[in-house]
Amino acid sequence: MSNINYDIWGAPETWGQWSDSPTSNTIWGNIRIGANNYSNADFTDYPSFKLGGTNQTLRAKCNAGEISVNTPLDNSIAYTAIANPDLPQCNVGLFGKGHTTKTNPFAIRDNSAPIPFSFAYLNDLNYTYYNMSRYQQLLGFDGFPDNATVIGQQKLQRWSPYAYMNPVNTTVQYEYNQCGALMPVLSFGIKSVIFEIIIAYVDYNNIVGHDNLKSYLNHTESWLQNHKCVGAYLRPYYRVNVNGTYSTNIPSGVTVKDRANGINPIFFTPYKLNGIDILNYSGNWARNCGCLPIYGNCISDGSYQYTEIISTYQPNPDNDTCSEWAYIYGYDKGNLHVNVSDDSAIVYIELDLSVAENVEYIMRGAAAYGLFFCQAIGALGNSGRDSGVTERWLDNEMYCGVIADDGMTYGDYTQGAGNADNQVYGWKESTQTPFDPKNIPDTDNTKYDDETKYRQLGYFPTACNAYVCSGGAIEKLSDVIATSIRNRPDPDVTVSEYTLDSGLTNNPIDTIISIKMYPSTQVPAYGSDIPIMFGAWSNAAVTGKELAKNYGTADFTFSRSRQNGFVAAFGNSFLDYAPYTRAELIIPYCGTVQLSAADFLNHDINVRMVIDYMTGACTAFIQRDGIAVLTCSGSIGVDIPITGIQTATFDSQRLNAVLARENALNNSNTSAVGGLVSALGAVGSLMTGNVLGAVASVGGLMSSVNNMNQTGNAYQKADYDLKHLQVPVKAVQSASPLISYVYENVCRLIIYRPVLSSDYDPAVYADTVGFACLRNGKVKQYSGLTVGNINTDGIAAPEPVKAMIQKLFAAGVYL
Amino acid sequence: MGFTIKIGSTSDNPLKLSKSVVWADQSVSISPLSAVDLIAPLYVIDYNSGYLSANYIQDNNTNIYYFIENISIDTAQRMNIKCRIDPLYSYQASIKECNITVTRNGGIGKPTLIPDSKLPIIPNIENTQGVIATSDYFDITDELVPPADQKTPRYVVITMKAGNIT
C-alpha cells in the first residue's frame, strides 16, 4: 500500500515527510482519512497522508502564522483533522466501513444508516483511542448505548458516533438556504439517518442549480477560512459517476506513484473553487472543513443524481487506482453496525433498533446535522422523495435538528408540528434568496448598506507646486538655493535690468511652503522626475515627481482567516466578551483605540488609514466587516526643517553695498577735485600777490585734503561693507517629532483574555457546579447536573412531593 | 390483596433522576399494622439478614420508590424499615415531560453566554495576545535613513507656484 503525503493545516513542521516506505509513514504524524472495505485491514492498509510532498502551501501558511497550532482541542470547532500540540502524535481519523457494492451503490439509501463519526487517538503504539470531541459529552453520552453489544477487540475507551463535523457545517449549510429545498424528502426508515440530505440530493434541474450550489460552496470556503481550526481534508482519489458513466477527474495515468513524483491531481489544489466542477466543489468543501460532511462522489439513480455525503474512496491496493466504493457506515441485517478498525481487529457494535434508546441514539445523531429528517418509511413515500415536496415538513413523521444559538447542534430535535418552531423551518422556503440566519435582514435596503463607501479623492488644483522626491533632493536643496545667487547679474544700479521674472526668482527659499517626510515609498507620484520649481526658478539638480494625489490610503487587514486571535477562546461564552475579554487596536501614527470583544470576534477588522500628503495628517477608519465604526486621527508626515540663503535680501544688501561704495568713490573723487581747485587757487593768489586769497585758498586746500581723506574713508568703509555682507538666511519650518516612527508600521490588535484557574476542570465543574445558562425546555432535553425552576404540572403526585421535586431541582438534579 | 415491596440497594447519587437498583429476587409481603405514610412510610417485615444492607425500596402497590433511612429490629424479630420517598425516581416519567427553565446545566459542557460567577477566573491576570494585521498597500520603509539599496522614505515638497505673470 502506498502512502500519500499532503500538507496538513496546523500540523507541526516536524511531522513526517514524504517517504515511499509504507510502514514508516503510517500513524506517526499522519492524518488519515479513509475507509476500507477489507475486514481485517489495519491502519497501515488505509490511505494515509503525511506532511510534506510537493505542495507546501498549507504548511507555509502554518509557518507564516496564518494557521495556529496552538489551539487546544477543547477550543476547536472542528475537531476533525486538527493537530493538537499537546498531543504531538495525535492522529485524527475518519474511518468507516461500508457494505455497499459497486453494483448497488444505493444500498445505503435503502437500508443503511451511515453516521459519520470521527475520533482522535494517541499514537502511543497501544492504539488507545480517545474521543476527540466533547460533543458526545454535551449529548450526555460517554460511549455506546448500554445495550449495545460490543464485539471485537474493544480498545476504544471513549468514542461517539455523533457528527462532530456537523456543527461546523450547519450554519454554512443554511446560510444561503440552499439546503431547505434539499431536505430529505427521501423516505428513510428509522434505520436510515438522513445522509443525502445535505448536498446529496442533487437534482441539477429542479432542486438546486449548479450555480446555487457553487455559490454556497464558495461561501463555505470563505466561512471556513475564518475558522482557525480548519483542518485538511485529504483524499487520494475520487471518482465521479455522472449519468451512469464513471470517470475520474484525476489526470489519466496519474497514480499514487506519480503523485509521489510531484504530479498533483488538480483536486488537491487548495481553494481552487472557481471553475471547478461541482463535484470538485463538494470535495473542496469537505477538504476545507477537514471532515467529510459531503463527499464529492456523484452517483446516479435513474433520473436522479446524488452526491454522496459520506463515503470514502480508496485506491485499490493492487494497482493504485480507484476501484472501490467505501462508505463510512453500513447497515446490515437489521442492526446498525458501527465499525471501527484498529490495528488488528474490527470493533463494532450492534444496535437493536427495537430498543427505544437505540432509536433515540440514532435520532440524535441525525439531529446533530440540524436538518430535517424523517423516521418512518412510507410516511411520505416515494412520491415525497421523488417530487421533492416541501409541504410536508410539519408531518408528524418529520423531525428537524435544532441548531442552538451558538450555531452548534447538540442532538436535539423537533417533531411534526413542533418543527414550525424550529428556526430551520423558516429557512425551508427559498432556494434562491440568500438568507443568513445569523444576520438580521435590513428593514429598508434603501437606507442601509453593509459597506462604508469611501469617496475617491484625486489631486485637486492648488496654487502651489507639490512634488514627491527623495532624501537626496532634500539634501541638495540648500546647495542649489545658494547657487541661485550666482545666476544673478551683478547689480549695476541699472534697475531696468531687473525684470518681473527675475523678481519671482530672486528668493527661492521663500517659495518653499513645506517639506514633509513620509515613511513610505508609496506616496503617489506622477510622471517622471522634473526640476522642482521654486516660484519661477529651478535647478536641475533638485528634481521630483509631481504629487499625483493629495491623499493616500493604507489598508490594514485583520482577517479572521489568518488570525488566531479572533476566535472565541472560551467556546463563544461570556468569557469571550466584555468585560472579560477586551482588545486594543494600536494604529501607527494614530494611537490606540479600545475595541470591545464583540467588535472583533467573528468579524473582519480592517483599518483604512487615509493620509493627507499636503498636511501630514492621517485618520484611521476602523472597519468592522466593511463598515467604518470608529475613527482615530494622528500625524504621519514629519516636518523637515530647511535652511537657505535669503537670496533676495542678500541681493538687495549687495546692491545697496555696491551703491554705497560707488557713492563713496564718487564723493572721494569730488573731494579730490575740490582740493585741486583750492591748490590752484592758492597758487594763483600768491602769483597775484593776494596773500589773503592765498591763505584762504590754502585753507580751502586743506579743507579739500580733509574732504579727500573723509571721502576716501567712506569709500573704504563702503568697500568693507560690501566685502563683509552678512548673508541673510532663512529656516523653513521647524522639525516635528518623529518618535511615533519607532512603533511598528502595522496595526496590532492586542487581545486581553481572562485566565482561568489551572485547577479548573470543565468535566468536574460540569458534574458538580454546572455551567450557568438560561434555557427553556422540557426536562428530558437536558442531561447532567441540572438546576432550574420546574413546573410540576402533569406530575400525579401529592403536593408535598411536588414541592420536594421543585426544591430538588432548585438545588440540582442529575438527569 | 396484600401489599408487597421490593427491597434493593443502589449506589447512585440520590439526586439522580434515574437510578440503577439491584433488587432482591423476591418481593416481600407486608401487613400494615397502622396507617402507612406515603412520603415517609414505616414498613414492618420479618427479619432477613439479607436486607440489612438494603437502602432502597419499591412499593409494588404504588410503584413509588423510597430511600431506606433506617432499619431497626424489634424483639419480635421483625424489621422496622423507616423510609423516605424518592420523588425523582418515582415520578421520573412525568418529570421528564415537565417544563423547566434551566439556570445551570452540566450537560452543556462549556460556559455559555450567561455570566457564570462561580467560574474560577483569576482576578487581575490576563493573557495578552498581539495580532498583527496584514498590510496590502502601505509599503512602509523600515529605516528612516537606510542604505542606498533599500527603500527610502519619500518627501513631499510644496513650493510656490509662480503663476503666469504675462
Backbone phi, psi, residue A487, to 5°? -85, 5
pLDDT in tens, A266-288: 222 222 223 333 223 333 333 32
Three cell numbers, residue A514: 513645506
Distance between B63 CA and the closest CA of chain A, angstroms: 12
Residues A722, A777, single domain; the answer is no
**Which SS3 state, helix, strand or coil, does residue B66 take?**
strand
Question: How many A/B residue pairs have CB atoms within 8 Å?
Answer: 398
Q: How far apart are the first and last CA of chain A?
A: 48
Residue B139's pLDDT band, with cuts at 50, 70 and 90, is low
Q: What does DSSP say about strands A31-33 and A91-94: parallel, antiparallel, or unpaired?
A: parallel
Confidence of residue B94 (pLDDT cuts 50, 70, 90): very high
Q: Which range has the worst mean pLDDT, A286-290, B36-40, B151-155?
A: A286-290
Residue A187 domain-assigned (yes or no):
yes
Residues A718 and A781 reside in one and the same domain = no
Q: Which of A637, A777, A805 sits opposite B87 (nearest CB)?
A: A805
Chain A hits for B99, Cβ within 8 Å? 776-778, 790-791, 793
A805 CB neighbours in chain B (<8 A) are 87-88, 91, 95
Confidence of residue A29 (pLDDT cuts 50, 70, 90): very low
Domain extent, residue A702, equals 647-727
Q: Quick check: B85 and A521 CB within 8 A?
A: no
Decide if A804 contacts B84 (C-beta within 8 A): no
Test B87 with A790 for CB contact under 8 angstroms.
no
Contact indicator for A54, A43 with CB cutoff of 8 Å: no
Residues A351 and A475 in one domain: no
Tell if the CB–CB gap between A780 and B97 is shorter than 8 Å.
yes
Chain B hits for A544, Cβ within 8 Å:
155, 157
With CA atoms as reference, the chain B residue closest to A535 would be B162
Domain identity same for A352 and A488: no
- The proportion of chain A whose per-residue pLDDT surpasses 90, expressed as a percent, equals 7
pLDDT score, position A559: 67
Minimum Cα–Cα distance from A787: chain B residue: B104
Is A749 close to B95, i.e. CB distance below 8 A? no
Residue A704 confidence class, pLDDT cut points 50, 70, 90: low
Closest by Cα among A586, A591, A589 to A635: A589
- Mean pLDDT to the nearest integer, A701-716: 69
Cβ-proximal residues to A11 (8 Å cutoff; 6+ apart), any chain:
A29, A31, A51, A59, A62, A69, A83
Residue A19: is its pLDDT beyond 50? Answer: no
- A160-180 tens-digit pLDDT: 222 222 222 222 222 222 222
Min Cα distance A489 → chain B (Å) is 21
Contact A580 B122 (CB under 8 A): no
**Interior angle at CA A577, CA A141 and CA B120, nearest 5:** 60
**Model pLDDT, residue A779:** 92
Pairing mode of beta strands A129-130, A149-151:
unpaired
Between A137, A559, A805, which is nearest B91 by CB?
A805
pLDDT-derived band at A371, boundaries 50, 70, 90? low
- Among A66, A421, A520, A739, the strongest candidate for a mutation testing the B interface, having the largest count of B CBs within 10 A, is A520
Q: Which residue has the higher pLDDT, A689 or A553?
A: A553
Whether residue A269 lies inside any domain: the answer is: yes
| Residue A21 banded pLDDT, cuts 50, 70, 90 | very low
**Which chain B residues are within 8 Å of A796, Cβ to Cβ?**
91, 94
- Return the pLDDT at B152: 65
CA distances from A453 to A555, A600, A626, A627 (A): 14, 20, 9, 8
Cα separation, A644 vs A507, whole angstroms: 10
User: What is the CATH topology of the domain spanning B3-93?
Assistant: Thrombin, subunit H (2.40.10)
Which residues of B fall within a CB distance of 8 Å from A769? 104, 106, 118
Q: What one-character DSSP code corresponds to residue A769?
A: T
Contact B85 A804 (CB under 8 A): yes
Domain end marker among A524, A549, A574: A549
Q: Chain A residues with CB inside 8 Å of B130's CB?
A: 565, 748-751
Domain ranges for chain B: 3-93
Q: Does pLDDT of A222 surpass 50?
A: no
Residue A319 covered by a domain: yes
Cell 447538540 maps to which residue? A410
- A621 domain residue, yes or no: no
pLDDT higher than 80, residue A628: yes
Which tens digit of pLDDT belongs to each residue from A629-655?
889 999 988 898 888 777 777 777 877
Whole-number pLDDT of residue B55: 93
For residues A325-337, give the mean pLDDT: 26
Q: Which residues lie closer than 8 Å to A133 by C-beta, 6 or more apart?
A: A79, A118, A119, A160, A162, A164
User: Across all residues in chain A, what is the average pLDDT?
Assistant: 54
Q: How much is the average pLDDT of B156-160? A: 87
- Most confident range, picked from A10-14, A334-338, A492-496, A595-599: A595-599
Tell me how many domains chain A contains. Answer: 4
- With beta carbons under 8 A apart, name residues in chain A contacting B106: 765-771, 783-786, 814
User: In the predicted model, what is the mean pLDDT of residues A377-404?
Assistant: 49
What mean pLDDT is predicted for residues A788-813? Answer: 93
A133: cell is 470531541
Residues A181 and A267 in one domain: yes
Q: Residue A540's pLDDT is what? A: 86
Domain assignment present for A92: yes
Put simply, the answer to whether B154 touches A521 (Cβ < 8 Å) is yes
Q: Which tens digit of pLDDT belongs to each residue from A459-485?
A: 666 778 899 988 888 888 877 877 766
Tell me the pLDDT band of A790, cut-offs 50, 70 and 90.
very high
DSSP-derived letter for residue A673 is: H
pLDDT in tens, A6-17: 222 222 333 233
Nearest residue on chain A to B97, alpha-carbon basis: A778
Q: Are residues A165 and A101 in the same domain?
A: yes
Rounded to whole angstroms, how far apart are CA atoms A436 and A94? 30
Residues of chain A positioned with their CB less than 8 A from the CB of B113: 405-406, 572-574, 577
Q: B140 vs A574: CB contact, 8 Å cut-off?
A: no
A35-44, A497-506, A557-566, A674-683: segment of lowest average pLDDT: A35-44
pLDDT at res. A675:
58
Cα gap A160→A144, rounded to integer Å: 7
Same domain, yes or no, for A536 and A658?
no
pLDDT digits (tens, 9 = 90+) for A718-759: 888 888 888 787 888 888 887 777 777 778 888 888 999 988
Q: Which of A580, A581, A594, A627 lies closest to A608, judged by CA?
A: A627
- Tell me what the mean pLDDT of segment A238-251 comes to: 31
pLDDT the model gives residue A97: 22
Do B121 and A755 make contact, defined as CB atoms within 8 angstroms? yes
C-alpha cell at A618: 492621517
Chain B residues in contact with A762 by the CB 8 A cut-off are: 109-110
Q: How far, CA to CA in Å, does A681 sit from each of A348, A689, A703, A711, B70?
A: 147, 12, 13, 21, 161
Tell whether A354 and A485 lie within a shared domain.
no
DSSP state, residue A192: P
For residue A679, being part of any structural domain is answered with yes
Is A614 close to B136, i.e. CB distance below 8 A? Answer: no
Is the pTM higher than 0.80? The answer reads no
Whether the per-residue pLDDT at A701 is higher than 90: the answer is no
Q: Is residue A794 part of a domain?
A: yes
